[in-house]
Structure 1
Amino acid sequence: MREVLLSVALVCGALPASAQQATCGGSFEAFVAGLRDEAITSGHDAAVVRQFLSGARQDPAVLRRDRGQGIFQTPFIEFSRKLISQDRLDRGRALGQRFDAVFSRIERDFGISRGVLLAFWAFETDYGAVQGDFNTLNALVTLAHDCRRPEIFRPQVFAALELFEQGNFDPATTTGAWAGEIGQVQMLPRDILENGVDGDGDGLVRLKTSAPDALMSAARMLSGLGWRYGEPWLQEVVLPPDIDWSRTGLETTMSVAEWERLGVRARDGALDDARLEASILVPQGRGGPAFIAYPNFRVYFEWNQSFTYVTTAAYFATRLQGAPVYDAGSPVPGLAGDRMQALQRALAARGYDVGAIDGILGAGTRAAVRDMQAKLGLPADGWPTAELLSRL
């Protein structure tokens, strides 16, 4: 599920100007020829490049999947209940014990709790069982040729070429997810080049077949993305009824001590270090569950940009570490589909940057909703409702 965004966005700023300015679209054959010429000009052996790209084909199924990510329109409670089952919890905890030595090493070297990686492992490939059967080269070249996000995927084609030169990628047989991710935790070629770790000590980095390799590599990547050693990421809280709802959301951060002075309490146990900066999240508004998000929570968005996915993954990680099931409360029904798009159009017409009119409640739409609610005298919890749409 890393398809919404992947950490490669961080790489784009370091690309040579020729890669950043490269065109997309047009004849697919001419596009592949352009990739070939650029690779050779960059110093790659011409015969190797031709061998690597000789079988590249456009995959219409990849484009259909790219355009059809409707699951991210699902509200948090429904989404999390779909992804988190007792079976997944049980298997995750069992795998945590089975690979205890690997997770202990990760906790020692990177300060990342095992629940975090177990949750990614579960959501990305169901603990390695479903890794995808799309030809990886075709997926990458197809998405690089497509003009929606070429700046993300074109560099990955050249990273895959480097893996091929190392003997770690077969353009004919390497398969993975539709967006080009490979292995049990779904990493793109550039991520593998920069963060691949031989976790099992066999001298190879095999993210498809070796759980220790995949887990250690994912830990190294998260650490490189800014994970703060030994710190928490998310915790369920109980909010006071008189809280200023406009302070909720990732746009507002205060110290844990300041939140405590406002009456925020942990639902189970105690809040973490009072000096940490944190935000309060109410994924389905004031009537639903509430969480405090610590700095490490923001690192999740370098893995995936969907707020719903990120919150679910972070919450599942806490469950794997013993946290109770969240209190779902009684949230007001939200908007979906055409009505959500109608709200986005209304907000955009008023000058708000909500991104694409796609029916997905992303960060831009949430912020716009919160601001408009405040202007209309409604509780500014960032949750879009029929009342808000009616008022607009």
Structure 2
Amino acid sequence: MTSRIAFTLVVLAGLASCATETSVPAPPAAASAAAAGSEDGPQRRFADWVAALRESARAAGIDEATLHLALDDVHYLPQLIERDRAQPEFTRTPWAYLDSAVSAPRITLGQDKLAQVREEAAAAAARHGVPPSIVVAIWGIESNYGSQYGDIPTIDALATLGFEGRREKWARGELIAAMKILQGGDIGRERMVGSWAGAMGQTQFLPSVFLAYAVDADGDGRRDIWGSMADVVSSTANFLARSGWRAGEPWGVEVQLPPGFDVGRADGMLRQPAAQWAAEGVRAMGDATLPEIADGAILLPAGARGPAFLVGANFRTLLRYNNSVNYALAVGVLSQRLEGGPGVQAAWPRELPPISRTQVLQMQETLARRGFDSGPADGVMGPATRDALRRYQRSAGLPPDGYPTPELMDRLLEPGDSPPR
């Protein structure tokens, strides 16, 4: 949440941490890797997989004591495989996401938490240049201010996901990183817990990200993102600072677009100073002056019918923590609510239903057949798909906002196509 790989790993963690965590109880001792060798089926194969992992970890410099601590009683948790495969069919609309992530109870509790950790967060801000409200907003969204960061043993979770095989290379790397954390003495195995996807602590770092960004801010010789608030806020701020956060610049601002604005210019790639956008008639809500943003882009998270935002480099840094526009927008809006500022003021197009992955998949296939290539059809509404949709909208004389609506998808279908379900 170093290289781009680290950012990708944070994305995977953020996806798992957005939902409320459910405890997955450890199976009985007979299910451990040590006992599994006498059993048939997955448990025996899991024991063999762990044995091979042990050799890889030893070659990576993990000592014998740590190998025993981490792997002698590692458990296979089949419940996690079910969760990993259970992808929701319908995508969440921006307003549904923000209704939950920036709810009134979360704002009220967050204001109390911001006051409670003000000293630690101010110290982190002085060191890293990231405002306390941004760090506390991430804390609130990732774990509801530390109350829901998960209680699944990280080693068990990652071993289960690695054994399943879909992301084996990634999971092996994270397991070795987790063992390096144990070997370094930052945390004991019993306290190394988190989400089902291996993200740990109050702001949900994966082990490799912990190694790269975690900070011992309280000076006790350990980097503790589970129990030390000084370490939690400083580690989170350190990640953002080293990922491109610009001190003194806002994440963004809600704006009013001038009449006749070409919504096709709100593609994220057209970046220019706020003063240039202002010269073109873009204004902050209430006709206020735009804040200074060096390379701002117009964001229309719900298309031309919804609110508009001018976002800059710091918004893109939030995307490196979790590569979701809804997530980054929720962090920004929650941070300003914690400081007593406004929420989203323009109306969302709540009458529009959510789009399913099946619908997006068929839309991608149809766009490709009609000459608007969006890359591999995967059912995910990413930048390439939005760009292809904009190109189709322009060809059809429609506002090119790149936002899929049921009406647009019906229009896109060719004669003979089956309507998406």
Which interval holds the TM-score relative to the shorter structure?
0.7 to 0.9
- 1:352 alignment partner in structure 2: 373
TM-score under structure 2 length normalisation: 0.81
2:107 alignment counterpart: 89
Give ranges in structure 1 of 5+ residues lacking alignment. 12-25
Return the letter of the residue paired with 1:59.
L
* Separation of aligned partners in 2, 1:46 and 1:204: 21
For residues 124 and 206 of structure 2, the distance between their equivalents in structure 1, rounded to whole angstroms, comes to 21
Contact 1:8–1:190 under 8 Å retained in 2:
no
- What is the CA deviation profile of residues 180-205 of structure 1, one whole-angstrom value per residue up to 9, with x for unaligned ones? 11111111112222222233344432
Is 1:125 matched with 2:146? no
- Counterpart-to-counterpart distance in 2, 1:347 and 1:369: 7
Counterpart contact for 1:307–1:362, Cα < 8 Å:
no
1:385 maps to 2:384: no
RMSD over aligned CA atoms reads 2.6
**2:78 is matched with which residue?**
60
Alpha-carbon distance, 1:78 to partner: 1.5
Q: Please, which of 240, 251, 269 is the counterpart of residue 222 of structure 1? A: 240
Moved over 6 A (4+): none
Q: Which has the larger radius of gyration?
A: 2
Match of residue 214 from structure 2? 196
- Kindly provide the amino acid, as one letter, of the partner of residue 158 in structure 2: L
Among 274, 282, 289, the alignment partner of 1:270 is 289
Partner Cα distance (2:89, 2:316) in 1: 21
- Contact 1:49 1:161 survives alignment (8 Å): yes
**Distance change (3 Å), C-alpha of 1:330 and 1:39:** closer
CA distance in structure 2 between the aligned counterparts of 1:181 and 1:266, rounded to whole angstroms: 37
Q: Give the TM-score taking structure 1 as reference length.
A: 0.86
Amino acid at match of 1:339: Q
* Deviation by residue 1:157-179 (Cα, 9 ceiling, x = unmatched): 11111111123344455321111
Question: Which residue number in structure 2 is paired with residue 182 of structure 1?
Answer: 200
CA contact (8 A) 2:215 2:234 kept: yes
Aligned residues of 2:254 and 2:309 also touching (Cα < 8 A): yes
| Paired residues of 1:92 and 1:320 also in contact (CA < 8 A) | yes
Give the equivalent residue in structure 1 for 2:390: 370
The AA in structure 2 aligned to 1:89 is I
Equivalent AA in structure 2 for residue 363 of structure 1: P
Deviation at 1:112, TM superposition (A): 0.7
In 2, the alpha carbon distance for the partners of 1:277 and 1:147 equals 41
Q: How many residues align?
A: 373
Q: CA deviation at 1:340?
A: 3.4
Cα deviation for residue 252 of structure 1 reads 2.1
How far apart are residue 296 of structure 1 and its match?
1.1
Deviations 1:10-65 (A, max 9, x none): 79xxxxxxxxxxxxxx9433332222111222333245324422222332222222
Structure 1 pair 354/235, CA: closer, same or farther in 2 (3 Å)?
farther
1:162 maps onto 2:162 in alignment: no
Aligned mates of 1:330, 1:182 — CA distance in 2: 34
User: Which residue does the alignment assign to 2:355?
Assistant: 336
Q: Is the 8 A contact 1:245 1:380 kept in 2?
A: yes
* 8 Å Cα contact 1:143/1:153 also seen in 2: yes
Quickly say closer, same or farther: Cα 1:48–1:97, change in 2 above 3 A. closer
Partner-residue secondary structure (3-state), 2:296: strand
How far does residue 326 in structure 1 lie from its aligned partner after superposition? 1.3
- Mean Cα displacement is larger for which, 56-65 or 279-288? 56-65
The CA distance in 2 between the partners of 1:356 and 1:174, in whole Å, is 37
Structure 2 unpaired stretches of 5+: 11-43, 413-421
Taking the aligned partners of 1:348 and 1:133, their CA distance within structure 2 comes to 44
Q: What pairs with 1:107-122 in structure 2 (closer than 5 Å)?
A: 107-122=125-140
In the alignment, structure 1 residue 142 sits paired with structure 2 residue 163: no
Q: Is the 8 A contact 1:6 1:303 kept in 2?
A: no
